[in-house]
Structure 1
Amino acid sequence: MNLKSDSKVLIQGFGEFISATHIAQMKAYGTNLVAGVAPGSGGKYKYDLPVFDLVEEVILKFGQIDTTIICVHPYQVLDAALEAIASNIRQIIIISAGVPPLDMVTLLRKTETHEILVVGPNSPGIIVPGKILLGTQPSEFYTPGSVGIVSRSSTLTYEVAWELTKAGLGQSISVSIGSDAIVGSSFPQWLQILDEDETTEAIVLVGQPGGEGEEIAAQYIAEAIDKPVIAYIAGKHAPASKYWHQKGNVATVVKRDPNFGSTKSKLTAFKAAGVPIAEHLPQIPQLLKKVMSNR
């Protein structure tokens, strides 16, 4: 994984999921954005970025690209990602929301035999405070430090960061894994990354209703994670029969157990794993300071 400030970054697509403001923010943060790809617009400039028709043309011009940020129409995401993989790009961040689940299955099968990190779909990306911003997260909420954040939500990711910043707790890495029905990287993958990261001392996991990712994460924390983890689960007061729209939750289709994906199920799993749970956002820094002082 290359999240250094000098790593080369490509934008695939200039659709509704990214704006001039986001691109300007990444540039201002020092992210090494080298080009954009938009078939049919090669040879032009957009947001002060040279635009190419094909990813391979960018490689020929600038050399190997470390990360691509995909912002195309959801039905074009698979083609864009496969084009990036064919050009040996190993970090793929999918900002676009609503990618067809079968397209994601195809993409993940393709990446099974390669060391490729896929973040998203429906993700604001990754930020390493003070070093690199990959996506649409608002950098002003962050400050460099030692708390890692891994989340399924978009806005809650940086709301948590802001609570930590106000409390004097900086962040090491913050990632939203995405909240479409099927996403690339998982909670366990990022928990392992943060557990092995030398700058990270503690981890905040942010979950929400739908799926079983949090339950799997709770078990993984109990079995494999050495660093302290704090959990916050949104939607505690949401009606049990409702699922959050952005998840496209498969459970609503296959009619799983009524408790499947519920906030109650997730809270029970974290309690069983001995993971402290914040009842509200401002409580997260309090719990972190407590567990970090006890190390």
Structure 2
Amino acid sequence: MNFTPASKVIVQGIMEPLGVTYAPLMQAYGTHIVAGVSPGFGGQMLNEIPVFDMLEQALPLVGAIDTAIICNPPYSALDAALEAIAAGVRQIVLISQGMPPLDMVHLIRKAEATETLVVGPNSPGVIVPGQVLLGIHPPELYMPGSVGLISRSGTLTYEVAWSLTQAGLGQSIAISIGGDAIVGSSFPQWLQILDEDDQTDVIVLVGEIGGDSEEAAAHYIAEAIDKPVIAYIAGRSAPRGRRMGHAGAIIDSQVADFGPDIGTAESKVTAFKRAKIPIVDRPSDIPAMVKKLLKHPARRSAG
């Protein structure tokens, strides 16, 4: 993980609506954006950021790039990501929403072969409060601190961060892994990263109904994570078996062949309780639980 103010960042699709809106905001926060890529716009500037037609054209001028932020439309996002990987970029943040599932399968295989960390798609990205913004998080909701925040939902990430900030509990980093059905990096990957991060003392995991990523996370925490973890599951009151509006978040478990219970709020809550992970009923309960764990940071024992 290399998310610092010194990290060189490139924005692909910088002249798309997302890029035009958020590249200047990231830059204003302190993110070191060295170039943008948008075919057909080469030679132009956006907020003093040079724009190139192709990523490889930027390399001789800006050198090796640490992170690519992709704002391309979903059907061209795969090409942008593969272009970044071919250029040696090993951290990719996919803001794009609704990437075709087979494109994501292709990208994940390529990312695994090249040891590339992929955040998203359908993600607001990553923020290290007070240092660097890689995506579209509203930075005014965050403050520097020692709470690591991992979520599937962007808006829930913001809500939990703001509740922590209001309670005087800053965040070491906040990541939304993305709301699409297939995402590049998982809860276990980020749990391991935060477990090894010296700036993080406690981890907050915000899950949702649908899929089995929270059950997998609970199992992984019990087996491999030493730092204290708090969990919150959104959607407990959603009608069972009904598809809701949040993209990719709620999957009919029978259709997905997970069985009748995996993916429900009950299944996820049970998984965390079985792993002896504190679970709160609502986001507003998180700060009090964090304070309790910071006062008594009993390390979890593996097993």
TM-score between the two structures when normalised by the length of structure 1: 0.96
Q: What is the CA–CA distance in structure 2 between the aligned matches of 1:126 and 1:63, rounded to whole Å?
A: 23
SS in structure 2 opposite 1:112?
A: helix
Q: What is the rounded CA distance, in whole Å, between the counterparts of 2:38 and 2:262 in structure 1? A: 41
Between 10-19 and 166-175, the greater mean CA deviation after superposition: 10-19
Residue number in structure 2 paired with 1:133: 133
**Residues 210 and 243 in structure 1, CA contact (< 8 A), matched pair in contact too:** no
- Give me the whole-angstrom Cα distance separating, in 2, the residues matched to 1:90 and 1:117: 6
Post-superposition offset of 1:19: 5.1
C-alpha distance after superposition, 1:59-79 (max 9, x if no partner): 111001110000111111111
Match for residue 279 of structure 2? Answer: 277
Distance in 1, Cα, partners of 2:222 & 2:70: 34
Alignment pair present for 1:258 and 2:287: no
Q: Corresponding residue for 1:176?
A: 176
> Residue 283 of structure 2: SS of its match in structure 1?
coil
1:147-200, Cα deviation, whole Å (9 max, x unpaired): 000000011101111100111111001100001010011000000000000010
Contact residue 181 and residue 250 of structure 1 kept, 8 A: no
Give the letter aligned to residue 64 of structure 1: A
For residue 250 of structure 1, report the CA deviation from its aligned partner.
7.7
Partners of 1:16 and 1:262 in 2: CA distance: 37
Residues 19/52 of structure 1: CA separation in 2 closer, same or farther (3 Å cut): closer
Q: Which moved more, 1:86-95 or 1:70-79?
A: 70-79
CA 1:28–1:275 in 2, change beyond 3 Å: closer, same or farther? same
**Equivalent residues in 2 for 1:106-125 (5 A)?**
106-125=106-125
Match of residue 166 from structure 1: 166
1:26 and 2:29 aligned: no
User: RMSD across aligned C-alpha pairs, in angstroms?
Assistant: 1.6
* 2:151 and 2:175 in contact (8 A); partners too: yes
Shift of 1:261: 1.0
Asked if structure 1 preserves the Cα contact closer than 8 Å seen for 2:120 and 2:179, the reply is: yes
Are residues 1:78 and 2:78 paired? yes
In structure 2, the partner of 1:51 is: 51
SS at match of 2:93: strand
Counterpart of 1:289 in structure 2 is 291
Counterpart-to-counterpart distance in 2, 1:15 and 1:238: 38
Q: CA deviation at 1:125?
A: 0.4
Separation in structure 1 between the aligned mates of residue 240 and residue 32 of structure 2, nearest angstrom: 44
CA contact (8 A) 1:122 1:180 kept: yes
Q: Distance in 1 between matches of 2:59 and 2:18?
A: 22
- Distance (whole Å) between structure 1 residues aligned to residue 243 and residue 119 of structure 2: 22
Q: 1:15 deviation in Å?
A: 6.6
Same amino acid, percent of matched pairs: 59
1: CA distance between counterparts of 2:193 and 2:243? Answer: 29
Which one-letter code corresponds to 2:123 in the other structure? S
**Cα contact 1:144–1:170 (8 A) shared by 2:** yes
3-state SS, counterpart of residue 219 of structure 1: helix
The number of equivalent residue pairs is 295
Using a 3 Å threshold, how does the CA distance of structure 1 residues 250 and 11 change in structure 2: closer, same or farther?
farther
Q: Distance in 2 between matches of 1:85 and 1:289?
A: 41
CA distance in 2, matches of 1:32, 1:144: 19
- The 3-state SS of whatever aligns with 1:155 is helix
Amino acid at match of 1:7: S
Amino acid at match of 1:262: T
Q: Of the candidates 261, 267, 270, which is equivalent to residue 268 of structure 1? A: 270
